Amino acid sequence: MRLKAAGSFLGAALALIVGGASASADWTTYHFDGAHTGYDPSPPAVSSFSSSWSTTVDGLVMAEPLYFNGLVYAVTMHDQLYALNPSDGSIAWSYHIDNPFPASSIPSCDSVPGDAVGIMSTPVIDPSAGVMYMVGMTSLGFYHLWAVNLSTHSLVYPPVSVDPMPDPFSGYSQTQQNLYQNQRGALALNSTGTLFIPYGGRDGDCGQYHGYVIAVHASDGSALNTWHTNFNYREAGIWAPGGVALDASGNAIVATGNGSQCSLPYDDGEQVLKLSPSLVQLTSWAPSNWASLNCSDTDIGSTAPSPVGNGLVFQSGKNGVGYLINSSNMGGIGGEVYQHQVCNTLSFGANAYANGVIFVPCQDGVHALNLGTNSFTAAWNYTGITAGPPIVAAGAVWVINTSGSTLDALSPNTGALIGSQSLAGGVGHFVTPSEGGGNIYVPGDGYIQAFGIGQWKASYNMSSAPTTWATGQTQTFPVTVTNTGNITWPSTGYTAVELDLHFATSAGGSANQTNWLTSQAFPLAADVLAGASATVNVTVTAPSNTGSLVLEAEMIKEHQFWFNQWQSVNVTVNNASWSASYNMSSAPTSWVAGQSQTFPVTVTNTGTATWPSTGYTEVDLDLHFTTVSGGSSQQSHWLTSQAFALPGDVAPSASATVNVTVTPPSSGGSMILEAEMIKEHQFWFTQFAPVNVTVSGPTWIASYNMSSAPTSWVAGQSQTFPVTVTNIGNQTWPSTGYNAVDFDLHFTTVSGGSAQQSHWLNSQAFSLPATLAPSASVTLNVTFAPPATANGGMFLEAEMIKEHQFWFAQSSAVSVMVAAPIWSATYNLSSAPTIWTAGQSKTFSVTVTNNGNQTWPATGYTEVDLDFHFTTMVGGSAQQSHWLTSQALSIPSNLAPGASATFNVTITAPSTKGSMFLEAQMIKEHQFWFTQVSSVAVTVN
């Protein structure tokens, strides 16, 4: 092989070979992403690689392996799905989806690889749903779509027929049409859930085959639409392994192979076209020499289209020419933006694109092109191999040499060979590798082979691990781990590297998980560079199993793979004992019912198991009042029970002091306060500590100072005054809640508190500003009013209430006199004009005086207003039938009894002329007119 450097690689691409610590991304579709770039920028750059494992599968693998959520997925031409562990290639699970179609039943004028036609195309995985979609041929000659849930390993819905419709001019049945249609092109899934399935012909171009794209709703497999090439002509299949590429809007971009026409009319062959998700053709392109390419079987569609930068699509084919096409308007026949010879021979499969460079697979090697604004130039050529479709990952261009059965890694900067490794066997035509989980994966004839691109290795120092444990016991100790590989371990993220500790019945690491009894993962404090070490303080809990076990350490790359290295320590797990002693010397012996007290209790772990202070089965301290001592066996006699958390885990022989706040029951008498430990949701300890106590019954008693309460009132008129209440009982009064203690005031004709409620005229409760302890007092500023109908001598009474429970037995009454309401006014109309012109408005001042005992409200629905009216007869509202006009005017503000208000009014004379009166009268809107009026004789001209 020969290396030809034709120019320097773009500077932006140098990022490919710098390397980093991040883990590779999932590879869920052909060539990594919707645009089929084949580029994963995340893995660190390699300087060498080697074969890690090879796993035998049941048939030829033509599809690109996929990598998702820590497993490698491969499908075979025998309709079999495999899920492999990336660390060692072991089969995690497999699923025989259906029986394939025998290759011997394909017409002899065509040929197929292998002994059966099953799943040839690359499936696609929806990472959000965890579902893989794949299409294959069944033994009955139909094409089916299968949607497999990768968590349950079962079909999401029954198989869906996705056969290309028969050519209407051929007379074919569906199975006859399928004999000539091949589903080799990769599937594509856009962001709105449309699944695209392309079809072409077989090697031999037999029969009335066409190019088809079928679109379905991936979520349920329901049909969306079908696009096909012109049924008036043959061929023009969509057969390149790269299949359907997607643009940023979710449109499908495909290329067709040669058609049957060697001259006009055009037959849809040799074209690149864009289809909407509903398969409306949006734009297309074909080379101007399409007819001669048709006649020479020189397919443009031997390679799938590649959306690249600058809104362009790159296309290469059997003629070795590279074309740049405007993605938005492809230009029709001969409408390319740029074309230039790239390969000296044919190009098959799919391209790769990374950082402005296009990597083209040719039968004479890999050709790298620097993409410009509307053109490209040669970067380098790596010749001498038969290149399958390349990918770019881990700082290298990876290509399968199908003629030499090797996997080659090339520098993306110069094309220099980084390394070459032999394959485990033969490979199919135009197959492409994939990457994920620290490996490059090659699909082969009856095998999947992995090549390690990163070494994830560790060593462990478990010298501080305890060798003697009790069942359920938790112990803390340091473990030192060393990164003996060549990749930095990430400490955060979905695929972080963590240290796992597990008890097992035998050693063997993750391959021996069936014998694990527990498993606990511990994060690293920071990323760990290659060659560096980190010490992790782990807190590990022993299992309930007893006997001789192993405690094992093993690193895990979360959601991807386990490391192959582990270290075990032989340990003995004994039955745990759970016992305690208590120091209750500070517990009070005198209590008041319902009144809390705080005191310390010291507990000592006299058993062999560490007491956990947190978690669903934590150890807590329980305090309970009971009439019979004896611990949990006497729970039927417990009056209360309160559990208190420990301040931290308590090791055997250690003690902890817990400050507890305990509330006695509401009943009084002689009883016992008892301490007992509990392992929550599991069992009570058998040790307890009782203290004899006396609980006094509750008293709710109040005294009142009503000396500031007014003794003279006006019905409906509020007054504000202070009242002091004192808690002379033994219970703290709560100021909030459903059963808060409130202060109640009421006017009543008979004193005697709540027992005389039938005589109460009104009642208003006032909240306390805060809880009130026994012997404490609080002064409330209350605003209260007698009812509007009250009149004469009565009582203003105070009484405490415990809401929704009871009234206090104590009340305090003050004799008061309530006067009836008086609404009376006088008017000063001395400024009112006496001469008016009909319809004329005049402004003058008026003074009104409140001669009653009620404050006049200036606003509201029942506000007090001043009414002016022209009338032919004086007498106020009793003579409204004689009124010629009426204007109500607001007073400027509330007017207290004895107060006056002077304000300007603007009044308009009526149209009636002659001698009359201008009259003023107050009105309480929507209720009544005042009885006082004042009038002025006037003349209206």
Instruction: Let me know if 87 is exposed, middle or buried by CB neighbors in 10 A (0-12, 13-18, 19+).
Output: buried
CA 163/CA 165 separation, integer angstroms: 6
Confidence at residue 668, expressed as pLDDT on a 0 to 100 scale: 83
Annotation: CATH topology of 825-940: Immunoglobulin-like (2.60.40)
CA 43/CA 35 separation, integer angstroms: 20
Q: CATH 2.60.40.10 spans which residues of the chain? A: 458-574, 580-696, 702-819, 825-940
CA 296/CA 286 separation, integer angstroms: 16
Q: Would you say 406 and 54 are in contact if contact means Cβ atoms under 8 Å apart?
A: no
- Residue 155 in tokens: 């079909």
Rounded to 5 degrees, φ, ψ at 277 are: -60, -25
What radius of gyration do the chain's Cα atoms show? 47
Low-confidence ranges of the chain (pLDDT < 50): 1-23
Q: CATH 2.140.10.10 spans which residues of the chain? A: 3-452
Distances (CA, A) of 688 to 218, 585, 587, 624: 64, 14, 14, 11
Confidence at residue 564, expressed as pLDDT on a 0 to 100 scale: 80
Instruction: Let me know if 570 is exposed, middle or buried by CB neighbors in 10 A (0-12, 13-18, 19+).
Output: exposed
* Single-letter amino acid, residue 671: M
Q: 3.20.110.10, 1.10.10.10, 2.160.10.10, 2.60.40.10: which CATH number matches 458-574? A: 2.60.40.10
Confidence at residue 576, expressed as pLDDT on a 0 to 100 scale: 83
CA 166/CA 170 separation, integer angstroms: 8
Q: Would you say 668 and 627 are in contact if contact means Cβ atoms under 8 Å apart?
A: no
Confidence at residue 511, expressed as pLDDT on a 0 to 100 scale: 83
Confidence at residue 798, expressed as pLDDT on a 0 to 100 scale: 98
Q: Which CATH architecture has domain 580-696?
A: Sandwich (2.60)
Helix, coil or strand: residue 266: coil
Which residue shows structure tokens 């329901």? 222
Helix, coil or strand: residue 241: coil
CATH code of the domain occupying 3-452:
2.140.10.10
Q: Would you say 342 and 363 are in contact if contact means Cβ atoms under 8 Å apart?
A: no
User: Under 8 Å CB-to-CB from 677, ≥6 apart: which residues?
Assistant: 578, 580, 603, 611, 619, 620, 621, 622, 684, 685, 687
Q: Would you say 701 and 811 are in contact if contact means Cβ atoms under 8 Å apart?
A: no
CA 432/CA 384 separation, integer angstroms: 18
Annotation: CATH topology of 702-819: Immunoglobulin-like (2.60.40)
